[in-house]
Amino acid sequence: MFFWSGGLFLALLFSISFGVFLGSTDVGFWTVWKIVLRETGLMACPGLDEADAAIIWQLRLPRVLLVGLVGAILATAGTVYQGLLKNHLADPYILGVSSGAAVGAVLAIVTGWGTAVFFNWTLPLFAFVGACLALFLVLRLGNGRGASQATALILAGVVVQAFFSALLTLAISLSPDELQRIQFWLMGSFSFRGWQHIGVVLPFFLAGFLICWWFAQELNLFALGERSAVHLGVHVEKLRVGLLIAASLMTSAAVAVSGMIGFVGLIIPHVMRMLTGADHRLLLPLSALAGASFLIWADIFARILLAPAELPIGVITAFVGAPFFAGILRKYLKGRA
């Protein structure tokens, strides 16, 4: 535990440092940290260039921290989905939860509903409703008896994702004035994100993660089967619903600020499970750390591959995740043969 947590924490610090250092304006590596130390009040660092300080503190650092926070959310949510559904192919993107959250956020943008009441919380709340609706549809459609539960859930996720993607396309057709903002949710991006977005997402992450981690031991018992879990004192239905809502809450907040970013919740839990085991008391925090670092590096590549232009971050995660998903699916199908 200490080896992996310490190593992943150091990797995250290095990823954040490199992500903040990288940019179109050259700022020295140590200058970056002097600016951070000064702005946080930990050290007096006179003589710093105020333009560089503004670039680091107002633009680069909040973006990198938000990217890491979203990566931690998606990896944590993927770990919970896979544990509850006993399906290593499950994640918020593949199950259509991200698409549902995006539809909820776009609905809030197009209609303007709730803005006067919820202010900055409008998009996350509407995204949460969309995510819960998508998850409900997946569980209902995937509850058939004619196929294995894992296969049924994946197929249901494909159907639900296609349906909500069609709704997003319809929103684009009916709202050309909001075309750019809607495309943002289709491709995933962190452009023009700042400290205020961290303030919106962080409470959702802390609440959702603490709930999931608190019930990590019960989540371990799901691997034994629902009947065994019931005999061991687990309220299976209540726990499943509660943890799915918590994971969907985190996912909706992430989608509200970053759009749909696929495969993070699939890749990271699977890799960490192979490296550290399936104990969710360890798997959840380690996946959060690894997911944060992974998405920061995906964002770095999205910024440098076509510099000074910027790729949508969803393109990078898809290039990595699609072959990974194909490999897992192939292994799963061989195991069923």
Asked if residue 256 lies in contact with residue 200, where contact means CB atoms within 8 angstroms, the answer is yes
The tokens 């859930």 sit on which residue?
153
pLDDT at 337: 54
| Rounded Cα–Cα distance for residues 84 and 82 (Å) | 6
Question: What whole-number distance in Å separates Cα of residue 36 and Cα of residue 29?
Answer: 11
pLDDT at site 146: 47
Q: How far is CA 192 from the centre of its chain?
A: 18
> Going residue by residue through the chain (337 aa), what tens digit of pLDDT does each one get?
667 888 999 999 999 999 998 877 777 778 888 888 888 877 777 778 788 888 888 989 999 999 999 999 999 999 999 988 887 778 888 888 999 998 998 888 888 787 777 777 788 889 999 999 998 898 888 775 544 566 677 788 889 989 998 988 888 788 777 777 777 767 888 988 889 999 989 999 999 999 999 999 999 988 777 777 778 788 888 888 889 889 988 999 999 899 889 899 999 999 999 999 889 999 999 999 999 999 999 999 998 888 777 888 988 999 998 888 888 777 766 665 5
Do 185 and 127 form a contact (C-beta atoms < 8 A)? no
pTM, full prediction: 0.90
CA angle 87-88-93, nearest 5°?
Answer: 95
Inter-residue contact 214 to 281 (CB < 8 Å)? no
**What is the predicted pLDDT for the residue at 12?**
95
What is the per-residue pLDDT for 246? 92
Cα–Cα distance, 123 to 189 (Å, whole number)? 16
SS3 sequence of the chain: CHHHHHHHHHHHHHHHHHHHHCCCCCCCHHHHHHHHHHHCCCCCCCCCCHHHHHHHHHHHHHHHHHHHHHHHHHHHHHHHHHHHHCCCCCCCCCCCHHHHHHHHHHHHHHHCCCHHHHHHHHHHHHHHHHHHHHHHHHHHHCCCCCCCHHHHHHHHHHHHHHHHHHHHHHHHHHCHHHHHHHHHHHHCCCCCCCHHHHHHHHHHHHHHHHHHHHCHHHHHHHHHCHHHHHHCCCCHHHHHHHHHHHHHHHHHHHHHHHCCCCCHHHHHHHHHHHHHCCCHHHHHHHHHHHHHHHHHHHHHHHHHCCCCCCCCHHHHHHHHHHHHHHHHHHHHHHHHC
